[in-house]
């Protein structure tokens, strides 16, 4: 049992929040349902009401992350921003939601066939392609360099920057913030 009584009102949300907190501290591989339950202030059996196992919980957290990323990209596109600004939004998302970003990058711990995960991931990917002006016909494996290749090059660039920032290997300099660093990097896309 826990030290405090159940009081959340929304068990699923409480478990996801506790999971994000733990992943942020220890990484996705170290997540345990028992520790999540303890952090959420519920019995160790409570997570089974929403998630069958650790994999289910991590998958739900990853799906939530992809959904948050998609929402960020939608907001960026709705503001009329250019393609490079989608990359800035990606880096900002990753640095503002490091636990979600970490789980999204650990497919071996996830149920890759989960419909919620697939839908959220597809939504974010579609926004990246649409932002680059790539028609659906150019999104396949044999797509032209100007289609899928452009998106993959940009995604690789901003994903790498996000990971470097998350690992503390790249930090904003004096007078800079994450967005400024990301804009300096995405500017390289225009110059290429």
Specify the CATH number for the domain of residue 33: 1.10.10.60
Q: Among 16, 34, 51, identify where a domain stops.
A: 51
Compute the average pLDDT of residues 110-130.
93
Same-domain check for residues 35 and 124: no
Measured N-to-C along each axis, helices 54-78 and 33-40 cross at an angle, to the nearest 10 degrees, of 70
The predicted pLDDT at position 137 comes to: 64
Compute the average pLDDT of residues 154-158.
90
The 10s digit of each residue's pLDDT in 67-83 is 999 999 999 999 998 88
Compute the average pLDDT of residues 32-45.
90
The predicted pLDDT at position 191 comes to: 53
CA-based end-to-end distance of the chain: 58
Question: What domain count does the chain have?
Answer: 2
User: What is the per-residue burial (b if ≥16 Cβ within 10 Å, else e) of 72-108?
Assistant: bbeebbeeeeebbbbbbbbbbbbbebbbbbbbbbeee
Contacts for 99 with CB less than 8 Å, ≥ 6 apart? 19, 20, 21, 22, 23, 24, 61
Helix-strand-coil percent breakdown of the chain, rounded to 5? 70, 0, 30
Compute the average pLDDT of residues 138-167.
78
**Residues of the chain with pLDDT > 90: what percent?**
67
- What does the chain come to in residues? 192
- Residue 4 pLDDT more than 50? no
Identify the domain containing residue 94 by its residue range: 54-191
The predicted pLDDT at position 151 comes to: 80
Same-domain check for residues 112 and 139: yes
- Residue 134 pLDDT more than 80? no
Q: Among 32, 51, 70, identify where a domain stops.
A: 51
User: Model confidence at 130, in pLDDT bands (50, 70, 90)?
Assistant: confident
Q: Global pTM?
A: 0.87
The predicted pLDDT at position 139 comes to: 59
The predicted pLDDT at position 144 comes to: 56
**pLDDT: which is higher, 164 or 141:** 164
Same-domain check for residues 63 and 1: no
The predicted pLDDT at position 153 comes to: 84
Same-domain check for residues 43 and 63: no
């Amino acid at each position: 049992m826990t030290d405090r009584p159940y009081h959340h009102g929304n068990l699923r949300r409480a478990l996801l929040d506790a999971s994000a907190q733990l992943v942020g501290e220890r990484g996705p591989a170290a997540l345990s349902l028992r520790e999540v339950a303890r952090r959420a202030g519920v019995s160790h059996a409570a997570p089974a009401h929403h998630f069958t196992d650790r994999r289910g919980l991590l998958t739900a957290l990853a799906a939530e992350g992809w959904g948050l990323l998609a929402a960020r990209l939608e907001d960026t596109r709705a503001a009329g921003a250019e393609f490079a600004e989608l990359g800035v939004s990606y880096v900002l998302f990753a640095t503002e939601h490091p636990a979600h970003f970490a789980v999204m990058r650990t497919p071996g711990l996830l149920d890759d066939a989960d419909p919620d995960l697939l839908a959220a991931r597809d939504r974010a990917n579609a926004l990246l392609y649409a932002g680059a002006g790539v028609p659906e016909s150019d999104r396949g494996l044999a797509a032209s360099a100007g289609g899928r290749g452009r998106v993959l090059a940009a995604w690789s660039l901003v994903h790498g920057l996000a990971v470097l920032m998350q690992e503390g290997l790249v930090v904003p300099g004096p007078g800079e913030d994450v967005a400024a660093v990301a804009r300096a990097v995405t500017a390289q896309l225009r110059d290429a």
